[in-house]
Structure 1
Amino acid sequence: MTALGFLYPGHSGEDDYPRIEQLLGSDIRVDLVHTDTGEDTHRADALLDMGSSARLAADVEELRHAGAEAVVWACTSGSFAHGWDGAHEQVRALAATAGMPASSTSFAFAHAVRELRARRVAIGATYPQDVAALFADFLRAAGLEVVAVRGAGVGTAAEAATWGEAEVLALARSADHPDAEVLLLPGTALHTAACIPALEKEVGKPVLTANQVTVWEALRLADRRVNAPELGALFTREPLVQA
């Protein structure tokens, strides 16, 4: 049994995780601990506070007691808002506190794009445009080429969590770009685990979503590879990324 640990901000799209656990169809256990988010708003100062080392450290002990082999901060905006260097420091502090390998959803996106042997990406985010632009900056710092950025203007995680498959597909269509090799849909509040094949069929290319890449990143840290076609192209390829 491989136990994966996740620090998830508040309560919004967390039901993607038991769904993904089921779709993995192997001896993988997904342990989720909810962190205190502070103010639920897609505003830069609130995002910095939500991803502070103190907030993450307050809840990681529960995952250690559960036997987690790796921990991922399951939040895109609460990691990339710190910038490239700040996000690295966030993960280093989390690993030191947890006593296990650690990462975040923002790094998961960057690693997953490399896993797909891609470089050019388009972004479709529920966030306001200025916050979506911060994610684009983070990805550029990771060496990726961002060819399009679409922010849908949603102000809170709670609102993003109300979106169904129709809204997610519409976001994907509006955000895709012909030059993009991969489409990225950040935001762990967004429910996507049930519709990744539909998303990839809609745009005709791999689609990476926040909760999907977060679980994949934890598996990577734990040195586990699982073939799960219902979770999209990312889970149907031979591993390319090394730790």
Structure 2
Amino acid sequence: MTALGFLYPGHSGEDDYPRIEQLLGSDIRVDLVHTDPGEGAHRVDTLRDMGSPARLAAGVEELRLSGAEAVVWASTSGGFTHGWDGAREQIRSLAATAGMPASSTSLGFTHAVRELGARRVAVGAAYPQDVAGLFAEFLRAAGLEVTGVHGAGLGTAAEAAAWGEAELLALVRAADRPGAEAVLLPGTALRTAAHLPALEKEAGKPVLTANQVTVWEGLRLADRRVNAPELGALFTREPLVQV
């Protein structure tokens, strides 16, 4: 049994995690601990505060008791709003506090894009455009080319959590660009686990979504590979050989 721990801010799209656990169809356990999201607004100041060391540390002991082998901070915006260096420092601090390998959804996106062998990506976010732009800057700092950024302008995680497949498909269409090798949908409030095949069919290319990437990142930390076609191209590829 591989036990993965996730620190998830508040309550919005967290029902993706038991769904993903079921779709993995193997001896993977997904343990979710909810952290205090603070105000919960899609503003840069509140998003940075959501990922503060104190808020993350508050959930760590519960994950230790669950037997988790690795921990992922399950928030995209709570990571990338700290910038590339700040997001990495955030995770170094979390790993030291937790005493186990750690990562975040933001960093997971950069690892997942490379896993697909891609470099050029398009971003479709539920956030306002200024917040979506910070995610693009984060990806560029990681060495990726961002071909386009679309921010849908939603002000809170609760609004994003209310979206269904129709809104997600529209987001993919608005974000995609001909030169993009993958479409990225950040935001763990978006419930995407049930819609990944439809999203990738719409785009005609891999679509990476926050909760999907978060669980994949936990598996990467635990050195596990799981073939789960219903979770999209990310879960069907053989690992790339790094030269």
TM-score range relative to shorter protein = over 0.9
Per the TM alignment, residue 241 of structure 1 is displaced from its structure 2 partner at its CA by 7.3
Matched with 1:93 is: 93
Alignment of 1:48-59 (within 5 A): 48-59=48-59
Per the TM alignment, residue 198 of structure 1 is displaced from its structure 2 partner at its CA by 0.4
Q: Deviations over 1:6-52 (max 9, x none)?
A: 00000000000000000000000000000001111010110111000
Per the TM alignment, residue 239 of structure 1 is displaced from its structure 2 partner at its CA by 1.4
* One-letter amino acid of the counterpart of residue 145, structure 1: E
1:122 aligns to 2:122 (yes or no): yes
Matched with 2:174 is: 174
* One-letter amino acid of the counterpart of residue 9, structure 1: P
Matched with 1:233 is: 233
Matched with 2:17 is: 17
Alignment of 1:193-212 (within 5 A): 193-212=193-212
Per the TM alignment, residue 193 of structure 1 is displaced from its structure 2 partner at its CA by 0.1
RMSD (Å) for aligned C-alpha atoms: 0.8
Per the TM alignment, residue 167 of structure 1 is displaced from its structure 2 partner at its CA by 0.5
Matched with 1:74 is: 74
* Separation in structure 1 between the aligned mates of residue 239 and residue 73 of structure 2, nearest angstrom: 22
Matched with 1:35 is: 35
Q: TM-score, normalised by structure 2?
A: 0.99
Q: Which stretches of structure 1, 4 residues or longer, exceed 2 Å deviation after superposition?
A: none
Q: How many residues of Structure 1 are paired with residues of Structure 2 in the alignment?
A: 242
SS in 1 for 2:72: strand
Q: TM-score, normalised by structure 1?
A: 0.99
Gaps of 5+ in 2: none
The answer as to whether partners of 1:111 and 1:241 remain within 8 angstroms in 2 is no
Q: Deviations over 1:150-174 (max 9, x none)?
A: 0000000011000011100111111
The answer as to whether partners of 1:12 and 1:158 remain within 8 angstroms in 2 is yes
Matched with 1:136 is: 136
**Distance change >3 Å, CA 74–CA 241, structure 1 → 2:** farther
1:189 aligns to 2:189 (yes or no): yes
Per the TM alignment, residue 55 of structure 1 is displaced from its structure 2 partner at its CA by 0.4
SS in 2 for 1:68: coil
The answer as to whether partners of 1:115 and 1:241 remain within 8 angstroms in 2 is no
* One-letter amino acid of the counterpart of residue 173, structure 1: R
* One-letter amino acid of the counterpart of residue 152, structure 1: A
Q: Deviations over 1:189-232 (max 9, x none)?
A: 00000000100000100000000000000000000000000000
Identity, in percent, stands at 83
